[in-house]
Each structure stands twice: as structure tokens, then as C-alpha cells.
Structure 1
Amino acid sequence: MSDGNVVVEPVEGKSGRAEFVDIGRAFAAREPHAVPQLRSEQLELVNPAKNPFFGHASHQLFVARRGGTAVGRISAHIDHLALELPREQGFGPGAGMFGYFDAADEAVAHALLRTAEDWLRGQGMDRAIGPISMSIWEEPGLLVKGQDHDPMIMMGHHPAAYQHWIESAGYIREKTLLTYHLDVTHGFPPLIQRIVQSGQRNDRITVRPIDISRWDEEVETLLTILNDAWSNNWGFVPFTNAEIAYAGKKLKPIIHPELNMVAELDGKPVAFMLTFPDVNGVLRKVKGRLLPFGWFHLLRWMRKPMGAGMRVPLMGVRRELHNSRLASQLAFMMISQIRETATTKYATTRAEIGWILDDNQGMKAIADAIQSSVNREYAIYRKALAT
């Protein structure tokens, strides 16, 4: 597609994917608070032969050029599992997506968005939702608040101008995702401490670390709870068996068992909370490169990430316990145990919880109760595709 002096072209194959990734890395390098990620990991995420997301998705990558120079990129993709979900949960029939959005200016942004829309329309989609890069479980949303500090592990970072460019192309905000900052050097309020102590006295409740010696079994347990706990949430798409295996393989190197909890009720796993040390600090130090010595710094840090911030990216409580006092009690107990370990063993001073949907009143109430505050907001937009 050509839009004046902007030409948007599809890219294919290994070299096309490499260029697509490198364009994104070049844009990120211009942002003072964007953190360079490992290029090999970024290449894997857009490789259909390696990322099991593509087992249930169609996609096309595009690059924008002006005068032969790359000035932007975008993906257009369809998650076929998302098409099977009810529309009221955000996706459903006709829901196409765009992601990996970078643009040098508004004209480039509009050309990229129109190209993605045309591709989605040609695939029979009636609306575009994004940015979602590419799975809802990877990097959903556009950063619209929090450009003044570095993102934590597995969170995107985008220039403030992107919000105006997307909205000026006719997109309406569909959903806001929140992350919460928590100073973990202070104890929890007395009420929360009493709730935790009450749970600790309850013989029916056990809160235990993940058992790394049974890692594959534990991963299946966690994602089974997640698929159940999140099944009614906006934007939920269930993990496939291939994605469960892939997630287990990718996450294992950054798992410290004592920071990741499973809660059991009468011996049955009913809730979990994952906590990842923030690798972005060391990635900034090695500039996202493993060679020549980046691998050494990364491996040393992973063994004992002293002083690292901690992020809680995922937690879940089985639906049968939703809207019960027990659900929040289990959450407080897991947070309390993780906080104690992080501060005493790793000298952690800060943590981040999220993302949390802006209409998830239960999780927002938990975040408020432990005196955390919103530090970043990500917007997901939608636009009807006229036929």
C-alpha cells in the first residue's frame, strides 16, 4: 500500500522477520525509558515455527518506508481461538487485531493502521482491536501513562505521541489495563495482617512454594487454575496444551520457587501467584545483548537477583471461590509470604502488580488494601471496519 510518499509493504521469511524486529528495536532505542530486550527472544515471538500462538492464529507483518528508509511497522493478526469467544468478552466473531505498532509520525501511523485494517477486512473481520502484540498473554495495550519510568519485565513501553495518532485514526478506547506500584519495605495495614494471621491458623489452608522438582506438573496446575479463574474476564483466550508447554520452558529459568506460591484448600490447589524478578535492570546494563559478556551478567543475576524489583504478572483463584472472603484472604496470604521472602532474601524494595483490568473491582480492591498505587496504564482500542 502507498500513501503519498509512505509505502507499506508485507514482509515474509527469516530476513523479513529480522528486519521487522530490528525496526522495533531502533524505535525503542530512541526512548529513554525503553529497555532493550534480547533480540533472540523477540525473533522467536514472531517466528511461526517456534511460537505456538501461531498454531491458532493467522498473521501478516508490514513495514513502512519513506524514500527507501524504514519508518514504521505493524502486525495484523487473527487469533482463531478468540473468534470463538462471546463478543461481550472483548473478542468473538469478526475480531481482528493489530500489534507491534511503531511509527515515525502521524502520516506513517495512519498508513500502517489502514494497511492492517485492509488486511483484516480481507480476512472477513469487522473490527480491529489493539495494539496486542500478538497474543493477549504477551504485550497487550499501548502505554498511555507512565512514560517517565522504566517498564518491568514483560511490559511494553511506547512514546506518548502514539496515543494521539491511534485515536486520530478513529480508534476508541475499549479497555484500560493497570499496573500498581508497591513499596514493600513497609508492612501491610493492621486489618490485612489480621486477615493473613486468621488464614494461617486455618488448618484447611496451605500456602506453599512452587515445587520446581515437579515443574511440568506445577505449570499444568497453574495454567489450569488460570484458565478457570480468568474464563469470564474481558480479553480472555485459553492457553492451549502447546502454549502451556512453551510457557513452562520459557519461565523456568527465571523462577525462584520461594517467590511463587500455590494456595491449597483441603489439599486441592485453588489459587496461585507468580512473581518474577525484574530482569530489565540487567538487560539495560548489557544493552539487550548476550555477546560478548551479556550472558555472564544475565546468568549471574538470575541465580540471585539481589535488589531487583519484583513483578506479579499473574494470579488466579478458582471461579468457585470468586466473590468470597476466602478469595481475598488467599491473595493476601500469598502476597504477604512473597513480600517477606523478597525483602529478606533479595533486599527488594519495590514491586509491581499487574496488569489488572480497570473493571476488575476485586483485584483493584486487593491492590488498594495493601496500599499500592497505579503507576502505569495501557489502553486497548477498537475500530469498526466498514465494508
Structure 2
Amino acid sequence: MADLSIRAISSKADYKTFADLPFRLYADDPNWVPPLKGEALGLLLPEKNGWFSHAKAQLFLAERDGKAVGRISAHIDTLALTMPVEQGFGPGTGQWGLFDAVDGEVAAKLVATAEDWLRGQGMTRALGPISMSIWEEPGLLIEGYDHPPTIMMGHAKREYRGWIEGAGYEPVKRLMTYDLDITQDFPKIVQRIIQSGERNDSIRIREVDKSRFEEEAAIILDILNDAWSDNWGFVPLTPPEIDDIGVKLKPIVFNDLIRIAELDGRPVAFMITLPDLNEALKPLKGNLLPFGWAKLLLWLRRPKVRTMRVPLMGVVKELQSSRLAGQLAFMMIEYIRRAALKRYGATRGEIGWVLDDNQGMRSIAETIDSQVNKIYQIYARAL
């Protein structure tokens, strides 16, 4: 076997090789969804990714005979270092991600190289894979290889789990997605809860107004930062990241798919639902040219999709232990379900990711008869 080398990347050509490698490694995987190449490259560049305003990263390529055979990022999020240890991060915790390899030898050397870099930066513990922000694609897929991921969810080869665990990593957190048949009415008990809420004059479930995008986004962010602040892995979003998210998601934001719940006129909960952009991206194979851009623009005007994804939902902390929290959640889910079914032709919903210890959200998902369809795992190891 040819000699294997690992090197840090720095040139524009290296960055392109790094971003393009999955297109070759997953070429025969029918369930991998190629990202747009420009966006995949942009995530790696500090000038195009607001996450770098509070983080730093080093990217590495593995090569045999000059051919790329693996990749990994090693990175440090300075905000994550300030978070409580019991929430997963904390002082001394670095991360690695964007992991791909052709075989076990490559995998082992890539992980060891990432660890060496983190040690050199003073880190004493490594979490991975997290690619690269916790808000992007955290965790390694360990169940659910048989169907494509939805928008903003990752995919991986089956072998990766054994290679990572073989490098001495132990599971620390599982993240799950739930599959839901939205063509079926919810159980009677859920319908009664929704109807009760509709009779409560203090409750209002409203659509967002995309023409007031920044104002609505600020309302949702306030609820999110309060609702998720005690969750494992939470790192607050910064203004540069929020700006990036707005640019990326605004084309697939539709008023009737995002709801804000108000209690006596005060926003207290939200639910974001996105049409599964991956259904439109997969046939493009990462390219907008020559005709991909036109196909995508036509789709964005009024997407017809099979799947809707719920990436985020939150209820302010003061209500989380109350019956009202579940009632608001069921109401938002039902109103969005109706819109998704009627206006977008969707037949399936996917909720998540959901932390394995988030009993409130898991209970809501199970009560509406949804089933776990994918599991992602985050690992840790002392350095």
C-alpha cells in the first residue's frame, strides 16, 4: 500500500479538494445528497461563515500517491469553551468534524492528527464529529442509512462508527429525528387538546410575516435563546451567524410554515418548518450550471415536496414544565400540518434533531405517533 500522508491545507486548490472529496467517496451511495458545491466551500472559509467570528479551525487532507483519500477538521469554538461543563462543552473541550475516509488506516491517522492539533491549542478533551458548528451537522449517523437525510442533516458511511469507536471514543449524546405521516389526523386526545387551546382567548397561534423578516427572526431568536439555554450542546448564535442563516434560509421561508405562539399578546413559543430542499438539490449533483439554477428557482416559487422538516421548536423556559407548553406545541404542529398537506403536497414530516434526554419533546413526538427514523451520535475522548 502506498504511503499515507496527512497535511494541513491552506491554498484555494486545497480547499476545493477538501469540499469536493465527498462527491467522490459517496458517488455510489443513493442516499447521499450532494450539497451545492459553492455552499460546501463557503462553510470552510472564514470570510463566508459567521461561525468563524468566535471560532478557529484547521482542515487536514489525507493523501496517497497525491490523491485525496480522507479529510477532517479540528476546531475550537471560543463560545463553547465558556459554556457549563454539564452541558457538553466547557473549558478545554475542542472538536473535530467534516470527517470522511476511505479506510480504517486513513480514519485513525486523521483523528490522531486532529487530536494533536487540539492538544497544541491547549485542549484536554475532544468531541466529534461536529461539522463545524453545533447548529450545522452535529453527530455521526448510526441508524437510518437506508433513506436520504433532510435539509441540514448529515449522512455517513456505516464503517465510520467502528473506526471512531476504535480510536477510543465513547458516546456522550444521541440526537434523533422522528418520522411522521402527516396525511393522518392526530390521535383524539391531541385533537381535544388543540380544540381546548382554540377556545382559550389568551392563546394566539400566528403565521410569521416574511415582509418583516428581521423583526420576526429577532422574536424567534429571543425565544430560542431562552428555551434552549439549558440544553446539552447549546451555544448562543451570534449576529454574524444569524445573518448567514437569514441569507441561506430566507428563500425557503414561507409564512404558513413558521408559527409563533402568543400568550396574552406575548410571544412564548415558535415552530420552524422547512420544505425539504434536499429533494430539489439531489438531482442537481452539486451544480447550478448549466440549468440547475433555473430548476431551483422554479422549485422555490412554490415547492411541492414529500417531506417537511421541523429543525427548531421552542417554548420559553417559564412554561416548559406546564401543560400549556405541550398544548402550544400541538397547536403549532397541527396548523403547520394542515398547510403542508394542502398547499405543498407534503405527506411526511420529520421532527428533529431531538436530544435523547429531551423528554418533553420526545413525549410530544411520540404522542402524535411519530417514530424515530435516524439516530446521530456524538463522541468524546480525553486528550
Q: TM-score range by the shorter chain?
A: over 0.9
- SS at structure 2 position matched to 1:29: coil
CA distance in 2 between counterparts of 1:246 and 1:157 reads 23
Kept after mapping to 1: 8 A contact 2:71/2:101:
yes
Match of 2:167 in 1: 169
Larger displacement relative to structure 2 (279-288 or 347-356):
279-288
CA distance in 1 between counterparts of 2:288 and 2:228 reads 35
Aligned pair 1:275/2:273, yes or no? yes
What TM-score results when the alignment is normalised by the length of structure 1?
0.97
The letter for the 1-side match of 2:294 is: F
Kept after mapping to 2: 8 A contact 1:271/1:318:
yes
Match of 2:80 in 1: 82
Match of 2:326 in 1: 328
Aligned residues: 383
Kept after mapping to 2: 8 A contact 1:229/1:319:
yes
CA distance in 1 between counterparts of 2:120 and 2:284 reads 42
What is the CA deviation profile of residues 55-102 of structure 1, one whole-angstrom value per residue up to 9, with x for unaligned ones?
100110000011221110000000000000111000000100000000
Match of 1:24 in 2: 22
> How far apart are 1:248 and its partner, in Å?
1.6
CA distance in 1 between counterparts of 2:353 and 2:378 reads 12
Match of 2:157 in 1: 159
Match of 1:192 in 2: 190
Aligned pair 1:49/2:47, yes or no? yes
- SS at structure 2 position matched to 1:74: strand
Match of 1:143 in 2: 141
Match of 2:354 in 1: 356
Superposition misfits of 4+ residues, deviation over 6 angstroms: none
> How far apart are 1:347 and its partner, in Å?
1.5
Match of 2:338 in 1: 340
What is the CA deviation profile of residues 284-329 of structure 1, one whole-angstrom value per residue up to 9, with x for unaligned ones?
1222211111111111111111133100001111111111111111
Structure 2 counterparts to residues 52-63 of structure 1, below 5 A:
52-63=50-61
The 3 A distance-change label for structure 1 pair 307 and 55 is: closer
Match of 2:255 in 1: 257
Structure 2 counterparts to residues 363-374 of structure 1, below 5 A:
363-374=361-372
- SS at structure 2 position matched to 1:174: strand
The letter for the 1-side match of 2:53 is: G
The letter for the 2-side match of 1:220 is: A
- SS at structure 2 position matched to 1:258: helix
Select 1:311's aligned residue among 309, 312, 315: 309
CA distance in 2 between counterparts of 1:370 and 1:25 reads 37
- SS at structure 1 position matched to 2:47: coil
CA distance in 1 between counterparts of 2:48 and 2:284 reads 25
What is the CA deviation profile of residues 92-147 of structure 1, one whole-angstrom value per residue up to 9, with x for unaligned ones?
00100000000000000000000000000000000110100000000000000000
Kept after mapping to 2: 8 A contact 1:220/1:244:
no
CA distance in 2 between counterparts of 1:306 and 1:239 reads 31
Match of 1:180 in 2: 178
- SS at structure 1 position matched to 2:194: helix
Q: Give structure 1 stretches of 5+ with no counterpart.
A: none
- SS at structure 1 position matched to 2:26: helix
CA distance in 2 between counterparts of 1:26 and 1:208 reads 45
Aligned-residue Cα RMSD (Å) equals: 1.1
What is the CA deviation profile of residues 260-305 of structure 1, one whole-angstrom value per residue up to 9, with x for unaligned ones?
1011111111111001101111111222211111111111111111
> How far apart are 1:4 and its partner, in Å?
8.5
What is the CA deviation profile of residues 235-278 of structure 1, one whole-angstrom value per residue up to 9, with x for unaligned ones?
00001122222212221111111011011111111111001101
Kept after mapping to 1: 8 A contact 2:275/2:305:
no
Match of 2:210 in 1: 212
Match of 2:291 in 1: 293
Larger displacement relative to structure 2 (227-236 or 30-39):
30-39
What TM-score results when the alignment is normalised by the length of structure 2?
0.98
